[in-house]
Amino acid sequence: MKQPKPVAVFDSGLGGISVLQELIRLMPQENYLYFGDSLNAPYGIKSTDEVLALTLKNIDFLLSRQAKAIVLACNTATSAAVTVLREKYHQIPIIGMEPALKPAINKLHGRIVVMATEVTLREQKFATLLDRYRAEAEIISLPASGIVNFVEQGITQGPELEAYLNEIMAPFHTPKVSGIVLGCTHFPFVKDSITKALGYEVEFFDGAEGTAKETQRQLHNNGLETDSTQPGNITFFNSNDNPKILSLCQQLLNSKKQQVL
């Protein structure tokens, strides 16, 4: 069979599962390796050098498992490491992520909030993105790393998460915002709780679908698509060896993106 090798998906923890869901929806016949570095999460409040070092180490692990492409299902790791990774491993496709500001601006005007980690919001990659679109809408950056810890524990609703979200969403009750960009792969799992804290419906944008489509394009352009017609398999790895993590991965994978777990 052609190309039974897996597509590797990497995140600082469990958030990248929101991207894995889209990859499987688009390319169910591929095999996937998912590595979450939950032991070291959150990445979004570390120094850029720390995130770079952790990402390089974990990508080496995935490459040692015969990955044919790497999906950085983490905006934070992409900001800190994608350039170095592409220089180091130019022989395989490395697909990165950025906050989905472009689709938001293409569709909406007015106030748009970009929720992401501190690392993503302070790095050059995001500054470049902002420069491109700042004339077209009022773009507000909102660091929201606190969400990562909740999702890492499987918490996507409930009083503690709500208290955190009520606090950070309070400035957006009035005037209302027209859209929210979820610039961290952990955040789509708490969409409903964000809407609740906001108090009104808003349009959400995340990079999962765009990243899955880009991965498909790159596999195709490099002749790396599998020719299998059977559903592929998914293997989860995590730096945290607590057995609960693997069932949490499965639980998040099976959850509907809009639904609360």
> Which of the residues are catalytic?
74, 184
Nearer to ligand DGL, 41 or 224 (CB): 41
Near ligand DGL by CB under 6 A: residue from 21, 31, 55, 75: 75
59-to-14, 140, 155, 190, 253 alpha-carbon distances in Å: 16, 32, 27, 27, 21
Q: What is the DSSP string of 64-108?
A: HTT-SEEEE--HHHHHHHHHHHHHHTTTS-EE-----HHHHHHH-
Tell me the per-residue interface mask from 7 to 46 with ligand DGL, x by CB under 6 A, - otherwise: ----xxx-x-------------------------xxxx--
Q: In terms of C-beta distances under 8 Å and separation of at least 24 residues, what long-range contacts does 162-169 make, across chains too?
A: 162/193, 162/196, 162/197, 165/190, 165/193, 165/194, 165/196, 165/197, 166/197, 168/142, 168/144, 168/197, 169/194, 169/197, 169/198
The token duo for 225 is 């698509």
Give the integer Cα–Cα distance in Å for 214 and 197. Answer: 32
Near ligand DGL by CB under 6 A: residue from 31, 55, 76, 215: 76
- 215 CB-contact burial (10 Å; exposed 0-12 / middle 13-18 / buried 19+): buried
Name the segment binding ligand DGL (CB under 6 A); options: 83-91, 101-109, 154-162, 184-192. 184-192
Least distance between ligand DGL and beta carbon 220 (Å): 25
Nearer to ligand DGL, 117 or 239 (CB): 117
Near ligand DGL by CB under 6 A: residue from 186, 204, 212, 249: 186
Nearer to ligand DGL, 15 or 93 (CB): 15
Looking at residues 193 to 222 of the shown chain, list those that interact with ligand DGL (rule: CB under 6 A). Answer: none
Nearer to ligand DGL, 11 or 225 (CB): 11
Name the segment binding ligand DGL (CB under 6 A); options: 69-77, 127-135, 235-243, 253-261. 69-77
* Chain contacts with ligand DGL (rule: CB under 6 A): 11-13, 15, 41-44, 74-76, 117, 120, 145, 148, 184-186
